[in-house]
A and B are shown apart, each in its own frame.
Chain A
Amino acid sequence: MYRSNVLVCGGTGCTSSNSELIIKRLQEEIKAAGLEKEVNVVRTGCFGLCALGPIMIVYPEGSFYSRVTPEDVPEIVEEHLLKGRIVRRLLYQETVVDDNTVKSLNQTPFYSKQHRIALKNCGVINPEEIDEYIAVDGYKALGKVLTEMTPQEVIDTILKSGLRGRGGAGFPTGRKWSFAAANQADQKYVCCNADEGDPGAFMDRSVLEGDPHSVLEAMAIAGYAIGATQGYIYIRAEYPIAVKRLQIAIRQAREYGLLGKNIFDSGFDFDIDIRLGAGAFVCGEETALMTSIEGKRGEPRVRPPFPAVKGLFGKPTVLNNVETYANIAQIILNGPEWFSSIGTEKSKGTKVFALGGKIQHTGLVEVPMGTTLREIIEEIGGGVPNGHKFKAAQTGGPSGGCIPASLMDTPIDYDNLIAIGSMMGSGGLIVMDDTTCMVDIAKFFLEFTVDESCGKCTPCRVGTKRLLEILNKITSGNGTLEDIDNLESLCYYIKENALCGLGQTAPNPVLSTLRYFRDEYVAHVTDKVCPAGVCKALTNFVIDPDKCRGCTLCARNCPVGAISGSVKQPHTIDTSKCIKCGACMEKCKFDAISKR
């Protein structure tokens, strides 16, 4: 038994800001202080509050240290671990109470509104030790399923829980399993979609890095339910830490006999292999993903036949997302009634969101379905920083849409998001403030879809290119009102005619910004102005003569000599020469230069 446990986040965010070095220094310093038998250092998965990384929690006190640097380590060891004095300057401010005590993390605004099911073990256990997973009831659900339940009972339990796919579309997981179970074949497959291609989303990565065994266990349960003996995890090659932890987890599960032949002496065989993606967004689409596992170009196939009938290598296949799997063991252990008591009428359970963009607390949050956007952004996320105003939240990545401030009180679930022109998607939630141009954001997503269109069907291959051309025309100041109408009708055409989910949803960013921010489009074409001051061609830099002191700093820094004026006299910018680089505005000490 150790008297103290030091948990250090080993997720991608904190690793990128040097948590590995912190762990190394900790181990060295603890050894030097002769505490190695008393203090245990644990590398965990993501705690969620990525904005404050690297994060360290010291138990039993529960001190939450944020933005720790390797240089802070000697002080932490000397003061806290040796002398028992909490290093107050490193504490997360929200946990500090005046009377020298520390508030529990669960009482801070960031954590108190969360309900953790899929992220239950993230930031709690060491993901590279199967024993730690087993200690928190890991593989108990698999044992229960194999020894006490029939495959049909497993499917009924999942059906009854109301669990819907967390990858985006929200198809009921139990129905998917029952279709695949009903098809007879000599071989069936269970696949896991860990190709988190939606930019700005990192939920699946965090689950795999923080709790990889929960996914393996759930895949084995799915295998038993549908009668499959082989599983594949398709994961992005861009996630090296997640890949490594999965490899370790699979190896340990095999050693313990929790994967392989005759699991729990039940006669059930199941094994899992990893397949690396190679950077193609379309491979998140289920049929494209399976084509890619087959080693081919990841182009989608026409459905039907659906994967439950003819999937990987032409065999019946169940494909679920990482987060969906992360819920399965909990449902088996706690019962479907427990799960369906959380959430809204048609969307049960919780959803993990990756909060990013212009928000105070970037990070990972898990909230019950039906939580409003306002609660997530203002209460949990801490609102928009630097005194700016909230403008929109983008959900669903390149397939989703922007939700304006007026709809912030909508309870978030699958159906409500579709009704307001966005979608759940995998759970990326990007916050935008008044310095974000909505036409530019639509263009950003279209550039992405044009890049990632696989080229198989014409509406997507050619249609998205045309959309992007029109958007470029508008943002460069050459658009007309007719262009906006053409943009809209082309969007609907693509939605109705594209082959796969990628193409059918590609116009969503344009349609939703048109729906809620049409005035910005109109300002671009009729007034030739970009209200947010983002589109360079439509922005002019001007000097306020009342504020300008004539210090000549801007004129000396202008790379093209567009600024003129004499010393101590207000300067002016020649807009015909100006290249809009913004150097003058950055340099001005009197705040006299602004964008119009």
Chain B
Amino acid sequence: MQKRISNLPFQGTKEQEEKLREIIARHKGEPGAVMPTLHEAQEVYGYLPIEVQTMIADGLGVPLEEVFGVSTFYSQFSLTPKGKYNVSICLGTACYVKGAAAVLDKLTELLGIQPEECTPDGKFSLTACRCVGACGLAPVLTINDDVYGRMTPEEVEGVLAKYSV
């Protein structure tokens, strides 16, 4: 999937930076360190802005190109910040044949954003993911850690309304 790069200014805090330095120090020198470091860095910052990737490259002593190459290769690594509520619709085969595409259409209509985007107020972001493995509940929608199974386009508005604060 084409990666979108955030144009929002980087707003990392001192505490986050300290945590990142500690992560880098723990992985430095271990074989294949770039991926675990990126995973943990994303947990700290929520996404991987170029500033964070630069710190990782410098800290681990690998070229930035290599870090950037890895972060853009894997769909789990996000270069854009996520909203307060990340709405994720499963487009795996089981969900697709049970009508996930219509649910996605409704989501883009109601939120006014496309997949991989975030609403201007930072509240909702939208992702289309490949199979969360809950195929018995197809089609599946997740909002942060909450799972909504057997979704229909009609139910989307009601579900989103639960996240109005």
Contact = CB atoms under 8 A, between A and B. Distances in A.
A356 B94 contact: yes
Interface in B60-96: 66, 69-70, 73-77, 91-94, 96
Nearest to A398: B93
Range class of the A interface residue count: 35 or more
B93 A357 contact: yes
B31 interface: yes
A296 B70 contact: yes
9 contacts: A13-B136, A50-B136, A51-B136, A280-B73, A280-B75, A295-B35, A298-B73, A432-B97, A454-B73
Contacts of B38: 278
A358 B98 contact: yes
Interface string A247-280: 0000000000000000000000000000111111
A29 B77 CA distance: 42
A298 B74 contact: yes
Nearest to B74: A278
Given A197-B130, A199-B130, A298-B73, A50 B98 contact: no
Nearest to B140: A16
Which 7 A-B pairs give the minimum distances between C-beta atoms? A50-B136, A295-B32, A199-B92, A356-B94, A278-B74, A200-B93, A279-B75
A363 B93 contact: no
Interface of B: 1, 31-36, 38-39, 66, 69-70, 73-77, 91-94, 96-98, 129-138, 140, 147, 149
B68 to A, nearest CB: 10
Contact of A199 (B75, B76, B93, B136): B93
Interface in A268-302: 275-281, 292-298
A205 B133 CA distance: 8
A281 B92 CA distance: 12
Q: Which of A197, A201, A295 has the most B CB atoms < 10 Å from its CB? A: A295
A356 B93 contact: yes
Given A295-B35, A357-B93, A16 B134 contact: yes
Interface string A342-382: 00000000000010111000110000000000000000000
A58 to B, nearest CB: 21
Interface in A172-225: 196-202, 205
Given A202-B135, A276-B36, A362-B135, A294 B130 contact: no
Contacts of A198: 131
A436 interface: yes
A444 interface: yes
B93 A278 contact: no
Given A237-B76, A278-B77, A444 B132 contact: no
Nearest to A534: B101
B74 A428 contact: no
A275 B33 CA distance: 10
A198 B94 CA distance: 11
B93 A276 contact: no
A563 B131 CA distance: 39
Nearest to B38: A278
Of the listed residues B92, B94, B96, B149, the one surrounded by the most CB atoms of chain A closer than 10 A to its CB is B94
A214 to B, nearest CB: 19
Contact of A278 (B1, B35, B134, B140): B35
A448 B128 CA distance: 12
Contacts of A298: 73-74
A394 B93 contact: yes
B39 A237 contact: yes
A356 B133 CA distance: 10
Contacts of A200: 92-94, 131, 135
Given A16-B149, A17-B149, A200-B131, A357 B136 contact: no
Contacts of B75: 278-280
B70 A354 contact: no
A591 interface: no
A451 interface: yes
A13 B134 contact: yes
A356 B98 CA distance: 9
Contacts of B77: 278
A50 B136 CA distance: 5
B49 to A, nearest CB: 17
A128 B92 CA distance: 29
Contact of A53 (B74, B129, B136): B136
A36 B88 CA distance: 40
Contact of B136 (A197, A363, A436, A445): A363
Contact of B32 (A275, A297, A444): A275
A199 B69 CA distance: 25
A454 B1 CA distance: 10
A327 interface: no
Contacts of A280: 73-75
A320 interface: no
B137 A294 contact: no
A292 B75 CA distance: 13
A238 interface: yes
B80 to A, nearest CB: 15
B31 A278 contact: no
A293 B138 CA distance: 31
Contacts of B140: 16
B147 A16 contact: yes
Contacts of B130: 197, 199, 279, 281, 448
A313 interface: yes
A34 B135 CA distance: 38
Contacts of A394: 93
